Amino acid sequence: MSKIPPLDLVQQYQTIEAEVRSAVLEVLASGRYIGGTQVTDFEQQFASYVGVSDCVACNSGTDALYIALLALGIGPGDEVITPPFTFIATAETISAVGATPVFVDIEATSFNLDPAQVAAAVTPRTRAIMPVHLFGRPADMTRVMEVANQHHVPVIEDCAQAVGATWSGQRVGSIGQVGCFSFYPTKNLGACGDGGALTTNDAAIAAKSRMLLNHGSRKRYYHEAIGINSRLDAIQAAILKIKLSYLETWNAQRRAVSERYSRLLAQVPGVVLPQEISEGKSVWNQYTLRLLAPAETAVSDGDVQGGQFRDRVRSQLQANGISSTVYYPLPLHLQPVYQDLGYQPGRFPVSEQACHQVLSLPMFPELSPEQQEQVAYALKDCLGT
Ligand SMILES: *Cc1c(COP(=O)(O)O)cnc(C)c1O
């Protein structure tokens, strides 16, 4: 049996190699490596894909979040509500601007922040809500926007894993005040290096973001704010334009992969499959299931074994040549870096349980039905079913 990687960027590159080569060579020959039409074209195309008036390209998803917070004037003394079950960049950028992340627990089925708990966490210091569309599945934006509008706070969507996902027919990144995207190679729209973008329908936010990521400058060598240097390279923009034209196809292939997994793994005892609801169309950046330790299969409350069962299954899969991944083994409120926030274990039980139970199976558009059968067979074998 052949090895199955978590994702395969080489296989995808081979399908677009000729186009990418000629686009990259064109940029190299042009002498225009920073800014220029490659970047502005990509910004326009991406804005129209997401369904917003403005897109501001930058160097990474992390920078997009950081700049969004700065552009909204968020800083020391301010609070931003976000889930603890996400990649560190979400909360890290809140801390980096000097504000405080205020965590709220997630919903068990969507892995996304629980809007009811968002409402309960709002204080007079709340300056933004930052939902994450985790694994490609959109958060409940109807209820998040309701709470946000009620309290007059902006919403910054962390869309890093969910480019193309829709909530009630609207693309993520067009629902809150700002959407933040990552073009890290493992995301659904990945560059050949780092990249990111902000999307917004607010021209003032777009202009301020552009100023901030250009050393706080609107006019060359005149600086009105402390900013950073965060640009999308012309080469990456040229590659992203090509890849954007395939994104819908690739996202549809990911959907087909997810549907096949769900058929192959239906009714396996102790396996809880990811679900979609009608309002929220996922783009399946990950196919993430939960593994319940045998004792939990009957009474699925609390994982006494702290992830050991899941980790054992994962090693067995690896021994069979199948690479699975754990996103994320430790929630942000229990990370060493956030000990000073004073959250105790048990504070966010749904997130903590997810950290012990989740397992992401190999997922990429080109994954073949035979490979998926091999994954399903090996997983069932590991679970003794
Ligand atoms: C990848 C990711 C980011 C950061 O994006 P980079 O481009 O790697 O900086 C932020 N949030 C989430 C949820 C991510 O998955």
- Closest by CA position to 155, among listed 172, 131, 132: 131
Give the chain's domain count: 2
CA pair distance 100, 271, nearest whole angstrom: 36
Residues 227 and 285 in one domain: no
The residue contributing the CA closest to ligand 1 atom 1 is 160
pLDDT tens string 64-79: 999 999 999 999 999 9
Q: Which atom of ligand 1 is nearest to the CA of 184?
A: 7
Residues 233 and 294 in one domain: no
Element at 182 (helix H, strand E): strand 178-182
Residues 209 and 313 in one domain: no
Q: Which residues approach ligand 1 with their CB closer than 6 A?
A: 60-62, 86-87, 89-90, 132, 158, 160-161, 182, 184, 194, 196
The residue contributing the CA closest to ligand 1 atom 6 is 61
The residue contributing the CA closest to ligand 1 atom 10 is 89
Which of 7, 58, 60, 62 to probe ligand 1 with, by most ligand atoms within 8 A of CB? 62
Mean pLDDT of the residues in the chain = 96
Residue found by looking up tokens 């992830």 in the block: 307
Q: Which atom of ligand 1 is nearest to the CA of 187?
A: 1
Q: Among 241, 268, 289, give the residue marking a domain's end.
A: 241
- Closest by CA position to 142, among listed 168, 108, 106, 171: 168
Residues 192 and 218 in one domain: yes
Task: Give the domain CATH number at 373.
Answer: 3.90.1150.10
Residues 166 and 143 in one domain: yes
Distance from the alpha carbon of residue 132 to the mean position of ligand 1, in angstroms = 10
Residues 307 and 357 in one domain: yes
pLDDT tens string 269-295: 999 999 999 999 999 999 999 999 887
Q: Has residue 2 been placed in a domain?
A: no
- Closest by CA position to 379, among listed 326, 299, 321: 321
pLDDT tens string 170-219: 999 999 999 999 999 999 999 999 999 999 999 999 999 999 999 999 99
pLDDT tens string 361-385: 999 999 999 999 999 999 999 998 8
The residue contributing the CA closest to ligand 1 atom 2 is 160
Q: Are 83 and 96 in contact (CB under 8 A)?
A: no
Does pLDDT of 303 surpass 50? no
pLDDT tens string 308-329: 999 999 999 999 999 999 999 9
CA pair distance 316, 84, nearest whole angstrom: 29
Exposed e or buried b for every residue in 152-178, given b needs 16+ CB within 10 A?
ebbbbbbbbbbbbbbbeeebbbbbbbb
